[in-house]
């Protein structure tokens, strides 16, 4: 009989220890990998005292038996859910350089699933999604069991539990008051779970308050009611192309670990443009997003509003805020959106003020899809040339062109072809078939960075190549990055800055922006001005309006 009893005792000790470790790790786990101590000191993060454990322990010991079990189960459910949110936060910080918003960010999981399909295939993506869902359920269930188990043990050992809580409580207060920290600035007196619970609980009222404030700011628009004949007077008769280059961040031009291909592309671009009679000026903008969420950056740039979440975006497109594209429409320009990534109905097009939106189907592309990107950027520019820019006897044109070849997962990356070879896009078939697949590229972090840089170089080559070959004296081109790439390329401490460039032949265009201090090149200098992206609309409207006349 002693053997079974001894065995059961060991099992009880092991399960209790496991429950304690599970709860402890859930309480002290940071929501960012970067908040762990650096180097080989990560183990010191375990030397923490979570206040939540002390408070919960005291409450559970004080409660009568009939309430204790239900309270423990509830606390376990809450802690399990908070731990799931914390793990999601880790992923969000790694990809988007921000925390997960439990109210607004659910739609982004669909984008994440599509990315997994592109990089690993649908079966693997489905398996990961199912595994993540089951893992979340098991984690919440396991945390509930752990809290129940620890409550039973503590209630059965009150003589040890109360002194232990008292000593730990005194230690926590002393460490909190002294602000004692571990290596890497981590406080030993931990409030991590309580902070996350507070932030999660406040998310909804905070988002609602932000929405009201944002809508009020959107209505405060000095340019909304300005007549068309008082807008963009310096660009009358000009054809203006505004192009967003996907994931074209500051690191693409400044990070020596992988910027070689981009620097070569920009240097060649300067030469091509100069040979065709163009000049360029470049600076930096700070994007409202990073790692993804291109539509947030596009709306920030075009509307002059800081759009950094889905709620703000949805609120904005329901207003009559004047966008840059609509401003050109009001001056008599034909406004078109070249949107190869749009594959469903896109009602936002009317908010931006487009006369026509070219979605994926409108490009008449019959070649292979390049992972997430529906078609190569050079083909997009070729179709813009054929369907809009080369039209005879047309009026002035405003085109917003979204380039997608540099979208995650940066494979396969096409090569530049002769413009007369592109046809219906089927020429890309053999090229894509022989190129590296996302699955191959994403096995190696160094290769990810290399292919990212190659994709940016290709997008820039497509844009500048088109301007040098087809651009006439009336062309003014503005191109910029929408955001920095994911942290797998730039790390988690990179800025949100992106390059922006204006290209033109007419020197009067640059006279208008002489005070900006931008670099005379398609590559902005390291000390070039940096503005928030939402300030560009007003600066541009002012510079090229009546008040911006340098004479």
Least confident of 158-167, 473-482, 532-541: 158-167
Burial category of 448 from C-beta neighbours within 10 Å (exposed 0-12, middle 13-18, buried 19 and up): buried
Q: Could you tell me which of 449, 528, 518 has the C-alpha nearest to residue 490?
A: 449
- DSSP state at residue 497: E
Q: Where in the chain is the domain with CATH 3.40.720.10?
A: 229-548
Per-residue tokens: 150? 């620890």
The mean per-residue pLDDT over the stretch 102-112 comes to 71
Statement: residue 38 has pLDDT above 60? no
Whose tokens are 């209505």? That residue is 219
For residues 15 and 22, give the distance between their C-alpha atoms in angstroms, rounded to a whole number.
Answer: 10
- Give the per-residue pLDDT at 439: 86
Q: Are 366 and 424 in contact (CB under 8 A)?
A: yes
| Nearest CA among 203, 202, 222, 210 for reference residue 315 | 210
- When pLDDT is averaged across residues 13-42 and rounded to a whole number, the result is 75
- Pairing between strand 189-190 and 239-245? unpaired
Tell me the three state secondary structure of residue 161: helix
Cα gap 139→129, rounded to integer Å: 15
Stretch 522-544: mean pLDDT, rounded? 97
Q: Which of 5-9, 111-115, 504-508 has the lowest mean pLDDT?
A: 111-115
Report whether pLDDT(289) > 90.
Answer: yes
Cα(236)–Cα(329) distance, integer angstroms: 12
**In the chain, what percentage of residues exceed pLDDT 70?**
93
Q: pLDDT value at position 6?
A: 79
Q: How confident is the model at residue 189 (pLDDT cuts 50, 70, 90)?
A: confident
- Reduced to 3 states, what is the DSSP secondary structure of residue 209? helix
pLDDT surpasses 60 at 37:
no
- Condensed to tens digits (0 to 9), the pLDDT of residues 403-438 reads 999 999 999 999 999 999 999 999 999 998 888 888
Per DSSP, the three-state class of 443 is coil
- Between the alpha carbon of residue 106 and those of residues 19, 102, 116, 311, the distances in Å are 30, 7, 16, 12
CB 122 within 8 A of CB 114: no
The predicted pLDDT at position 276 comes to 98
Does pLDDT of 241 surpass 80?
Answer: yes
Going across the sheet that includes 334-338, the strands are 356-358, 334-338, 397-403, 239-245, 475-481, 497-504, 279-286, 530-532
Is the pLDDT reported for residue 118 higher than 70? no
Least confident of 188-202, 226-240, 420-434: 188-202
Tokens standing for residue 277: 């009679």
Residue 372 is predicted with a pLDDT of 86
Give the pLDDT confidence score for residue 197 in this predicted structure.
Answer: 83
Report which of residues 527 and 372 the model is more confident about: 527
The average pLDDT across 396-401 equals 98
Are the CB atoms for 379 and 422 separated by under 8 Å? yes
Band the pLDDT of 102: cuts 50, 70, 90. Answer: confident
Mean pLDDT value across residues 16-34: 82
**pLDDT classification of 187: cutoffs 50, 70, 90:** confident
Tokens at 482, concatenated: 């929408």
Which residue matches tokens 């990809």?
95
Q: How many CA atoms lie within 13 A of 266 on its CB side?
A: 24
- Residue 359: which pLDDT band, with cuts at 50, 70 and 90? very high
pLDDT 10s digits, 328-341 = 999 999 999 999 99
Average pLDDT, the chain: 89
The answer on pLDDT for 342 being more than 70 is: yes
Strand partners, 337: 357, 400
| CA–CA distance, 450 with 94 (Å, rounded to integer) | 19
Q: Which residue has the higher pLDDT, 347 or 289?
A: 289
Q: Report the candidate in 301, 322, 145 with the shortest Cα–Cα distance to residue 231.
A: 322
The predicted pLDDT at position 491 comes to 87
pLDDT value, residue 223: 92
Residue 130, pLDDT above cutoff 50: yes
Q: What confidence score (pLDDT) does residue 1 get?
A: 47
Pick the CATH number of 229-548 from 3.40.720.10, 3.50.50.60, 3.30.565.10, 3.50.30.50: 3.40.720.10
What integer pLDDT is reported at residue 128 of this predicted model? 84
Mean pLDDT of 100-117: 71
Q: Which residues contact 189 (CB under 8 A, 6 or more apart)?
A: 48, 49, 51, 172, 173, 175, 176, 180
Nearest one of 383, 382, 347 to 363, comparing CA atoms: 383
Could you say which DSSP state residue 358 is in? E
Side-chain half-sphere exposure of 135, counting CA atoms within 13 A: 11
pLDDT band at 185; cut points 50, 70, 90: low
Highest mean pLDDT among 84-98, 359-373, 528-542: 528-542
pLDDT at 140 > cutoff 70: yes
Q: Which residue has the higher pLDDT, 109 or 478?
A: 478
pTM: 0.80
Distance from first CA to last CA of the chain, Å, rounded? 103
């Amino acid at each position: 009989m002693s053997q079974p009893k001894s065995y059961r005792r060991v099992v009880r000790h092991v399960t209790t220890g496991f429950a304690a470790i599970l709860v402890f790790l859930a309480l002290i786990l940071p929501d960012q990998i970067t908040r762990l101590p650096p180097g080989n000191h990560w183990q010191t993060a375990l030397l923490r005292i979570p206040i939540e454990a002390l408070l919960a322990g005291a409450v559970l010991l004080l409660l009568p038996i009939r309430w204790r079990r239900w309270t423990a189960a509830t606390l376990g459910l809450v802690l399990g859910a908070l731990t799931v949110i914390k793990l999601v936060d880790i992923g969000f910080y790694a990809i988007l350089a921000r925390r997960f918003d439990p109210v607004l960010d659910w739609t982004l999981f669909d984008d994440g699933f599509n990315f997994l399909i592109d990089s690993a295939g649908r079966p693997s993506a489905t398996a990961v999604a199912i595994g993540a869902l089951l893992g979340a359920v098991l984690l919440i269930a396991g945390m509930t069991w752990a809290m129940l188990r620890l409550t039973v043990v503590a209630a059965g050992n009150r003589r040890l539990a109360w002194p232990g809580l008292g000593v730990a409580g005194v230690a926590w207060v002393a460490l909190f008051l002294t602000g004692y920290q571990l290596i890497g600035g981590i406080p030993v007196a931990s409030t991590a779970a309580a902070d996350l619970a507070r932030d999660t609980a406040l998310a909804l009222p905070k988002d609602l308050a932000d929405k009201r404030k944002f809508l009020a700011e959107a209505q405060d628009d000095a340019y909304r009611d300005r007549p068309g004949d008082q807008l963009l007077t310096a660009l009358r008769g000009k054809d203006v192309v505004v192009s967003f280059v996907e994931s074209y961040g500051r690191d693409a031009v400044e990070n020596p670990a992988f910027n070689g291909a981009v620097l070569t592309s920009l240097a060649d671009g300067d030469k091509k443009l100069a040979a065709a009679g163009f000049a360029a000026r470049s600076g930096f903008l700070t994007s409202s997003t990073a790692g993804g969420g291109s539509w947030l950056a596009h709306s920030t740039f075009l509307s002059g509003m800081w759009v950094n979440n889905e709620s703000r975006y949805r609120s904005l497109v329901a207003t009559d805020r004047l966008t840059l594209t609509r401003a050109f429409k009001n001056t008599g320009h034909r406004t078109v959106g070249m949107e190869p990534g749009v594959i469903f109905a896109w009602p936002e097009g009317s908010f931006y003020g487009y006369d026509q939106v070219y979605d994926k189907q409108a490009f008449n592309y019959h070649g292979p899809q390049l992972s997430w990107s529906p078609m190569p950027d050079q083909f997009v520019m070729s179709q813009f040339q054929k369907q809009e820019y080369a039209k005879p006897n047309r009026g002035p044109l405003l085109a917003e062109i979204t380039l997608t070849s540099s979208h995650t997962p940066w494979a396969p990356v096409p090569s530049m072809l002769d413009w007369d070879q592109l046809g219906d896009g089927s020429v890309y078939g053999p090229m894509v078939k022989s190129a590296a697949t996302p699955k191959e590229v994403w096995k190696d972090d160094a290769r990810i960075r290399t292919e990212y840089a190659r994709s940016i170089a290709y997008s820039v080559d497509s844009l500048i190549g088109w301007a040098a070959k087809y651009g006439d004296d009336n062309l003014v081109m503005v191109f910029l990055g929408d955001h920095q790439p994911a942290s797998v390329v730039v790390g988690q401490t990179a800025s949100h800055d992106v390059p922006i460039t204006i290209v033109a032949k007419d020197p009067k265009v640059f006279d208008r922006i002489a005070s900006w201090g931008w670099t005379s090149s398609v590559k902005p200098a390291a000390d070039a001005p940096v503005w928030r992206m939402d300030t560009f609309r007003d600066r541009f409207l002012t510079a090229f309006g009546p008040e911006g006349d340098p004479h």
